[in-house]
Structure 1
Amino acid sequence: MDLLFFLLFLAACGATAATGALFPPGAWYDRLAKPSWVPPDWLFPVAWTTIHLLISAAGAYVAQMNGSGLALAFWALQSAASALWTPVFFGLRRMKSALLVVGVLWLAVLGATIAHWQLSLWAGLAFLPYLAWVTVATALNAAMIRLNPDVRPLRPDQA
């Protein structure tokens, strides 16, 4: 694996992660009813750091292989969907729209997992923690909608 490729993929992950700093959960999220199985706050940075390192390495590894176009397209799609979810859920408070976004993210991560796996067993395995995390995130997003039916999205003049 080429270090420059790894750093470029890691920079893409950093740009995606920056939406978390731009749209933090805040008091609105703290007031929401949550299921008992919400992961503890300390787990989020640990999980995302691990995921970003793994998928950056996987992307950098397969980027240098012939036939990696589909894997890289899914890699890009998961990055875009991941970057979109945070502003939709936390920034606009549109939990139902965020569920659609996380559904696209889940499909993109599944596609990336399969496409990377076809090129390298290791690269495919590197995506499995991400797939597990997004599965939990999808279920959590759905549970938040169910537990908070009266939450209204922000109006454009409130955002």
Structure 2
Amino acid sequence: MLFPIFLLASVAAAATGVIFKPGAWYDGLRKPGFTPPKWAFPVAWTIIYLLSAAAATRVAGLPGAGAALALWAAQIALNTLWTPVFFGARRMALGMAIITTLLVTVAAMTVSFWSLDRVAGAMLLPYLAWLCVASGLNWRIWRDNPAVPRPAA
């Protein structure tokens, strides 16, 4: 019965992608050759959010799950924060700091989940893989577009 709660938090995080769309600004940036095609982003995030919610549901009732669930809450907060910072405020450096913190948090969460339930831990591996790509992409975009103006405050 906890799955809908974890899924709702994930939907809230995903909603930032609807509010703060990449748009023409992002399309005009120099991007590395390893940039996934546009269609891959909603597909990947849908799978990640579903797996993450299911993994959290698996561990939620287990003894000792408090720290694991705290990491889940931290990662969903960081995940929700990145999109408006990167796409909305166009703060690529701050986006890099957030996504790096998110990557470390998801890695710790994966280890924590794995220690409680190996299936739940394994369900987070696609998230880790995607964050590695996304972090590299954030870094390269930041590095390769140093003079891109931000929107006026």
User: Which segments of structure 1 move beyond 6 Å, counting only runs of 4 or more?
Assistant: none
Residue in structure 1 matched with residue 4 of structure 2 by the alignment: 7
Residue in structure 1 matched with residue 131 of structure 2 by the alignment: 134
What's the CA shift for 1:152? 2.8
Structure 1 residue matching 2:21: 3-state secondary structure: coil
Distance 2:142 2:48 in 1: 26
Per-residue displacement from partner, 1:93-150 (whole Å, max 9, x unpaired)? 0000000000110011001101100100001001100000011111000000111011
Structure 1 unaligned blocks of 5 or more? none
Distance 1:55 1:38 in 2: 23
Distance 1:126 1:80 in 2: 19
What's the CA shift for 1:46? 1.1
Does 1:66 pair with 2:63? Answer: yes
**Which of the residues 124, 144, 147 maps onto 2:121?**
124
Residue in structure 2 matched with residue 23 of structure 1 by the alignment: 20
- Percent identical among aligned pairs is 50
Look up the equivalent residue of 2:53 and give its one-letter code. S
The root-mean-square deviation of aligned C-alpha atoms, in Å, is: 0.8
State the TM-score, normalized to the length of structure 1. Answer: 0.94
Distance 1:53 1:145 in 2: 29
State the TM-score, normalized to the length of structure 2. Answer: 0.98
